[in-house]
Amino acid sequence: MRISRLWLRPLRFLGLVLVLGTLLPWACTRKAISFNSNPEQPAVAVLGADTLTRTADSLNGKPLSTARKVVISKEQERAAKEAEKEAQRKPKKKKKVFLGEKIKRAYSKSGPKGRNQVIEVFYFLKYPMPLNAYAPAHYYYDVKKRKILKLASIEEDISNLKILHGPYKKLQNNKVIETGYYALGTRHLRWERFDRNGVLLTKVHYEMGFPRDANVSYYGEDRSLINEVVPYVNGKLEGDYAKFLINGQPEWRGQFENGRRVGVWTKFWGFRGRRHYEYQYGESGYDPEVTEPELIREYDRRFNLVYDKEKNIDKRGQPEVEDRPGQRRPAPRTAPKAATKRK
């Protein structure tokens, strides 16, 4: 009995090996896994369709593996590289241009340091240009003195004077108190003045130096030659006055404020813009009016200074400074009366 049991042990081991050899190939066989939740669909249909593949994974209805590669030419590749480099470059700074002319920014400071200091920010022409001879006055920036000058004329070409052209702004205590524009050395467009609280005080519109409401008279009917410019703002004499000869040369230049003559009024010889007499009126149009101005400077025809009250120079009557030998010097004439505004 015991001998028979020992004989059956090899047979059991052999049978186990046969069973494992039969089940192992079946367990390693790939089976299609379906994500279809419909249990009634036949297994054959599930095996025939790849549910992991979508229409988006194709190119023109073809699998991605069979899609044709995009081929670009060398020129297209070079253009693409240039476009990429251009995008990486920093944008170039735009050149400052006003009314078609190149300008440069500058500023000046005046007055004591601190809150009361006045700062002016403005622009000037990078290159000199011919100016309008009929403009009542021209504004320049003196690069040596670092301040703005208002001049009726320039007898000589001064290289340190730059013609103002572009926006203008005046500030005090970081608050804007005046704004406007310059065009070829003249006031242009709208100019506004404010108080320290930002309240608008005055607003004047200019056209190349002339107030928009100025009374302008001409020589002849063609209106090509200006005779006189009488400035009016809101019906009152205000601004730069100018009177010209028929040859286009200035005869008188001055300034009105609050309907009165103020500052220095200049009488010209009538050629090359040379000054003859300079008269001093009141400093402000709100002070008592000065009816008899004071002669402060006089020049001969060669633009030699013959009289200066401040420098105590008086060469009048000397033979070497006579205007024309044998002729009597005419007496100084005061400024003409401004014509009333035409209605």
Q: What is the pLDDT of residue 119?
A: 95
**Interacting residues of 272 by C-beta distance below 8 A, sequence separation 6+:** 155, 249
Q: What is the pLDDT of residue 339?
A: 62
Residue scoring higher pLDDT (209 or 7): 209
d(Cα 262, Cα 317) in Å, to the nearest integer? 29
Report whether 280 contacts 260 (CB < 8 A).
Answer: no
Domains in the chain with CATH codes = 101-212 (no CATH), 214-343 (2.20.110)
Residue scoring higher pLDDT (341 or 299): 299
| CA atoms within 13 Å, Cβ hemisphere of 288 | 2
The token pair at 176 is: 């804007």
Q: What is the pLDDT of residue 325?
A: 43
d(Cα 307, Cα 315) in Å, to the nearest integer? 6
In the block, tokens 């108080």 appear at: 195
Burial-class residue 17 by CB neighbours within 10 Å (0-12, 13-18, 19+). Answer: exposed
Going by pLDDT thresholds of 50, 70 and 90, the confidence category of residue 58 is low
Tell me which residue of 248, 249, 250, 230 sits closest to 240, measured CA to CA.
230
Of the candidate ranges 32-36, 209-213, 284-288, the one whose mean pLDDT is the lowest: 32-36
Of the candidate ranges 28-32, 63-67, 208-212, 234-238, the one whose mean pLDDT is the lowest: 63-67
How distant, in Å, are the alpha carbons of 74, 97, 147, 159, 325 from that of 107? 53, 17, 8, 18, 49
Report whether 133 contacts 141 (CB < 8 A).
Answer: no
In the block, tokens 């014509």 appear at: 339
Number of neighbours of residue 139 by Cβ within 10 angstroms: 23
Of all helices (H) and strands (E), which one includes residue 19? helix 2-28
User: For 259-308, what is each residue's pLDDT tens digit?
Assistant: 999 999 999 999 888 999 999 999 999 988 888 999 999 999 998 999 99
Number of neighbours of residue 287 by Cβ within 10 angstroms: 13
Q: What is the pLDDT of residue 95?
A: 73
Report whether 273 contacts 266 (CB < 8 A).
Answer: no
Q: Is the pLDDT of residue 44 over 50?
A: no
pTM value?
Answer: 0.62
Going by pLDDT thresholds of 50, 70 and 90, the confidence category of residue 189 is very high
Q: What is the pLDDT of residue 135?
A: 87
In the block, tokens 């023109």 appear at: 60
Q: Calculate the dihedral angle through the C-alpha atoms of 267, 270, 275, 277, rounding to the nearest 10 degrees.
A: -30
DSSP secondary structure of 225-269: EEEEEE-EETTEE-EEEEEE-TTS-EEEEEEEETTEEEEEEEEE-
What's phi and psi for 236, nearest 5 deg?
-125, 145
DSSP secondary structure of 173-187: TTEEEEEEEEETTEE
Secondary structure percentages of the chain, helix, strand, coil, to 5: 15, 40, 45
Mean pLDDT computed over 93-115: 89
DSSP secondary structure of 101-115: EEEEEEEEEESSSST
d(Cα 299, Cα 309) in Å, to the nearest integer? 12
Could you tell me what percent of the chain has a pLDDT over 90? 44
The token pair at 11 is: 């047979």
Number of neighbours of residue 50 by Cβ within 10 angstroms: 9
Q: Is the pLDDT of residue 64 over 60?
A: no
Going by pLDDT thresholds of 50, 70 and 90, the confidence category of residue 38 is low
Tell me which residue of 298, 243, 235, 292 sits closest to 270, measured CA to CA.
243
d(Cα 137, Cα 139) in Å, to the nearest integer? 7
Q: What is the pLDDT of residue 47?
A: 46
d(Cα 107, Cα 293) in Å, to the nearest integer? 35
